[in-house]
């Protein structure tokens, strides 16, 4: 299949990235990060997470972030909503896009959302029904799509089964999460082939963490299959607090650099993105994980006072 001419690049740094930070990140910094990213041309952004604050304290100020954020028309702002309580908060925050997150591994489902895969799907059904009834759009995730921190290998058929269940209950797109970044291009192709047997691949996105340095190769493999929705995190921030050993998502700068080279449009200004990567990294007190951001540091790192 030919490469797509453009992709929807979902920036997840403010959620998947900051949810995993050890140090408290004030709402004002999260808001500035999101606004800077949008200024760079990011049009799809995971901005918040309405999960239990006991489970993920870093996201406890999501309502404040959404209340104070200056929203740009045309930009999609999305939040995670694991249950009806989360959806109600997202609606109160005037969000029109939410996401539910299932897993292809039983052990990870238990650790991450305290229920089995089947129970999670039963929990998501009323979330989807209510969201769709109120005119919201729901994206889905299948975590551990290429491997599980507790069970190891995950069957592509299980990934496809969970993805199809999420589509069936009304998700418009399902992102396959390599939660611990263990996958390789062959595993990507096998997971996508299994999905293609059940749902159109135009409804599938990829959400790869970069623990083993395979994420760009894996995205290239997905592009070869025609995938045109890619998740990434500025500066490579992130990880999942319930996935031991997982590092951040693939860095958005690295993805945009590769896509620019492939003539695949994202609408994102790479220089602005690199400046933003350095801005948040300097705030957090460590260099970006992104190779591109480090390569361009001499020209684009904002001066640190």
Contacts with ligand HMG by CB under 6 A lie at: 16, 19, 49-56, 80, 82-83, 85-86, 101, 112-114, 141, 143, 177, 179, 207, 209, 240, 242
Is 240 one of the annotated active-site residues of the chain?
A: yes
Cβ pair 256, 296 in contact under 8 A = no
Looking at beta carbons only, is 234 or 240 nearer to ligand HMG?
Answer: 240
Closest among 206, 183, 248 to 9, alpha carbons compared? 206
Rg (CA), the chain: 18
Kindly tell me which of 192 and 300 has the beta carbon lying closer to Mg ion.
192
Question: Tokens at residue 150, please?
Answer: 């507790």
Q: CB under 5 to 8 A by kind: which of ligand HMG, Mg ion, none does 55 bind?
A: ligand HMG
Q: Which residue's entry shows tokens 């998501």?
A: 124
- Which entry of 40, 171, 195, 240 is annotated as an active-site residue? 240
- Give the shortest CB-240-to-Mg ion separation in angstroms: 5
Q: Within positions 14 to 33, which residues make up the interface with Mg ion, using CB under 5 A?
A: 16
The answer to whether 25 and 62 have CB atoms below 8 angstroms apart is no
Residue 242 binds: one of Mg ion, ligand HMG, none (C-beta under 5 to 8 A by kind): ligand HMG
Q: Does 210 bind Mg ion (CB under 5 A)?
A: no
Find tokens 């609408």 and name the residue.
267
* Residue 56's binding partner out of ligand HMG, Mg ion, none, with CB under 5 to 8 Å set by partner kind: ligand HMG
> For Mg ion, which is the closer residue by CB, 16 or 210?
16
Question: By Cβ distance, which residue is nearest to ligand HMG?
Answer: 177
Nearer to ligand HMG, 60 or 201 (CB): 60
Distance CA 264, CA 119 (A): 39
Q: Which of 84, 28, 91, 87 is nearest to 61 (CA)?
A: 28
Give the H/E segment covering residue 98.
strand 97-103
CB 53, min distance to ligand HMG, A: 6
Write down the least CB distance from residue 244 to ligand HMG, Å: 13
CA distances from 261 to 18, 25, 228 (A): 29, 34, 16
Nearest residue (CB) to Mg ion, 12 versus 300: 12
Q: Which distant-in-sequence residues (6+ apart) come within 8 Å of 252 by Cβ?
A: 9, 11, 13, 42, 232, 233, 234, 235, 268, 273, 277, 290
Q: Residue 173: phi, psi to the nearest 5?
A: -160, 145
Q: How many residues bind Mg ion (CB under 5 A)?
A: 1
CB of 275 to ligand HMG, least distance (A): 25
Q: How far is the CB of 131 from ligand HMG (least distance, A)?
A: 14
Q: How far apart are CA 250 and CA 230, in angstroms?
A: 10
Catalytic residue numbers, as ranges: 240
Q: Applying CB under 5 A, which residues contact Mg ion?
A: 16
């Amino acid at each position: 299949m030919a490469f797509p001419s453009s992709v929807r690049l979902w920036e997840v740094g403010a959620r998947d990235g900051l949810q995993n930070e050890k140090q408290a990140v004030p709402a004002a910094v999260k808001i500035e990060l999101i606004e800077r990213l949008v200024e760079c041309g990011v049009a799809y952004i995971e901005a918040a997470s309405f999960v239990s604050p006991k489970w993920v304290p870093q996201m406890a100020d999501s309502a404040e972030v959404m209340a104070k954020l200056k929203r740009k028309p045309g930009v999609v702002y999305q939040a995670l909503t694991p249950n009806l309580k989360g959806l109600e908060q997202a609606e109160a925050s005037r969000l029109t896009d939410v996401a539910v997150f299932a897993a292809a591994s039983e052990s990870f489902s238990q650790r991450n959302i305290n229920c089995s895969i089947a129970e999670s799907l039963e929990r998501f059904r009323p979330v989807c029904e209510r969201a769709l009834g109120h005119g919201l759009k729901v994206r889905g995730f299948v975590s551990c799509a290429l491997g599980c921190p507790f069970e190891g290998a995950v069957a592509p058929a299980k990934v496809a089964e969970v993805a199809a269940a999420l589509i069936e209950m009304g998700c418009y797109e399902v992102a396959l999460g390599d939660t611990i970044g263990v996958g390789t291009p062959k595993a990507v192709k096998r997971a996508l082939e299994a999905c293609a047997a059940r749902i159109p691949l135009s409804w599938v996105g990829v959400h790869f963490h970069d623990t083993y340095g395979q994420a760009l190769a894996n995205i290239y493999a997905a592009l070869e299959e025609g995938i045109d929705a890619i998740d990434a995190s500025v500066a490579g921030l992130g990880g999942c607090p319930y996935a031991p050993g997982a590092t951040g998502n693939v860095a958005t700068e690295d993805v945009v650099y590769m896509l620019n080279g492939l003539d695949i449009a994202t609408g994102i200004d790479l220089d602005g993105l690199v400046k933003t990567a350095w801005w948040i990294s300097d705030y957090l007190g460590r260099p970006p994980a992104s190779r591109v951001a480090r390569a361009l540091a001499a020209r684009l790192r904002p001066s640190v006072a």
